[in-house]
Amino acid sequence: MKPGDHVVLFFKVSGNQTLSEKISTNLVLPQNWQILTQKTDNPKGQKSEETYVYTVNTPSQAEAGEYTLVFTVSENGFVKARKEIRIIIERVRKLEVTPLSFPEYLREGDVLKVEYLIQNLGNEKEKLTLKTSRGKIESSKDEYVLEKNESMKVWVKQDIGYSDENMWLATSDLTLGFKDTSEVIYQVKSIPVYANKNKKNDPYLRFPIEVSVLHNSYSGSTVNRQGLQYEVKGAGYLDFSRNNFLSFLAHGPSQTGFPYLGTYEQYSLRYTHKESSLTLGDYNLQISNLLELSRFGRGFKFDQNFKKTSFSVFLLNQDFIPI
């Protein structure tokens, strides 16, 4: 059982003769356990047999382990019968990490300090290790001990550097580790950072391009296979006013027979000017979710947006036809 669950217990008391009215019963519970309901049934009007039904609730913070419940039947103050019931409470590991105190924003060169609240909502004492991938933890220790239903606060501190951007996000994180398992609990908080002054645009209007080549070979007793794919892609604005945007992708050749690579060639070019865009080559066409999600193929597509409406012209020779 888990802490906070309830259990229904049935006890049948019977004798060779009619049960005396002086018979009394009692259910002894562990500390802080509660009897929610109890009743007595006399099946079919029999006087030599009675059934006692108890609904027992366990504490939400009950520690893991084995507990004993004792049911006794007494007559004239003397115990005539005794029955022990053993119930095992499972271990529940539940810890929560919440960013408690942090700034709304920062300036470059500032110090980011975030206060985290760590709560042990489980039913066992936990031995923890804390670490952060950025900055440091104030008053850091090798091990922290957190009793059940206990909480603690820690501060994570880091210096904010400088960037060429006017705004970016700085992240603070905290990771909880355990001594007895590789399981971790991770929490992160992002804070916007603003430059102290507006950054100038790239004076050279550089256009970023990425080039990559992937080669893979496989050899076995009966198979010897090699595969090669390349990819060239780029995307960026063509003017300082950011009215003209160009992106392209060249990826190939197709390697459908090589499971590790297993992708199809794709060659596409997209140009956007304000509210107009032109796509050439391979692309996904999606008209409406009422028809189908999309179709991939080769052709062209022109889109024009207005204030209240838009239109598209396209031509597509689809590559994959459903059977």
Q: How many residues does the chain have?
A: 323
pLDDT (0 to 100) of residue 182: 86
Three-state secondary-structure class, residue 132: coil
Task: Place 114 in a pLDDT band, splitting at 50, 70 and 90.
Answer: very high
For tokens 């104030």, the residue is 138
Q: Is the pLDDT of residue 43 over 60?
A: no
Strand partners, 6: 57
Q: Is the pLDDT of residue 296 over 60?
A: yes
CA 269 to chain centre: 37
Contact status, residue 87 vs residue 1, Cβ threshold 8 Å: yes
User: Across 146-160, 281-295, 307-321, which has the greatest mean pLDDT?
Assistant: 146-160
Tell me how crowded residue 25 is: count the other CB atoms within 10 A of its CB.
16
pLDDT (0 to 100) of residue 323: 47
Q: Is the pLDDT of residue 201 over 70?
A: no
Q: Are strands 6-14 and 49-57 parallel, antiparallel or unpaired?
A: antiparallel
The pTM of this model reads: 0.53
Contact status, residue 278 vs residue 302, Cβ threshold 8 Å: yes
pLDDT (0 to 100) of residue 249: 93
Task: Place 169 in a pLDDT band, splitting at 50, 70 and 90.
Answer: very high
Q: Are strands 184-194 and 106-107 parallel, antiparallel or unpaired?
A: parallel
Please compute the mean of the pLDDT values over residues 194-223 and round it to a whole number. 79
pLDDT (0 to 100) of residue 92: 87
Q: What is the pLDDT of residues 64-78, one digit of tens each?
A: 899 999 999 888 878
